[in-house]
Amino acid sequence: MVAVALACAALAAAETAALPAGATAGNRTPESGTYSGSVAPGNPIVLVVEPGSKLIRGRTDILPTAGTCPPSPEDPPMFGLTPMTITHGDFRGVTVVSGPVVTTRYTVEGSFISDRSASGTVRMELSGKGLQSCTQTSPFIVSRKP
């Protein structure tokens, strides 16, 4: 997880350094298309930027990291994220997945660090009957292939 976080930070720093004078990482206009990558510890995340670069639809498969949150009896397979609006290159959305025993709240926050890549975090909050509530935050990075 530390290696992924360091890789995300290095890529963000390199791409931010390449910004034109006066531009900020959070003020990027992304290209429409499919951005894919991983969210620590190596789970897939896919974000689709709709034409017009104003809305993101996405899906992911995030599992608890050993030692952070206990395994859930209802870990979902790939699931859809609530659509997110892009404002000045930034996006945020909350998706709640409820099962008979466990409710998981996913908060996705990120910024486009270039017109073809974004980075951010996914915060997973588990709660439910007979489970100790816990929170796990994982970094992600996604990119759009030409």
pLDDT in tens, 10-19: 444 444 444 4
What are the structure tokens assigned to 119, written together?
Answer: 């980075």
Picking from 104, 95, 92, 94, the residue whose alpha carbon sits closest to that of residue 135 is 104
Split at pLDDT 50, 70, 90, the class of 37 is very high
Q: Which CATH class is domain 2-19+26-144?
A: mainly beta
Please give the biggest Cα pair distance in the chain.
53
pLDDT in tens, 111-120: 999 989 999 9
**pLDDT above 90: residue 129:** no
Q: Where are the domains of the chain?
A: 2-19+26-144
More confident residue, 49 or 76: 49
Picking from 111, 124, 146, 143, the residue whose alpha carbon sits closest to that of residue 47 is 143
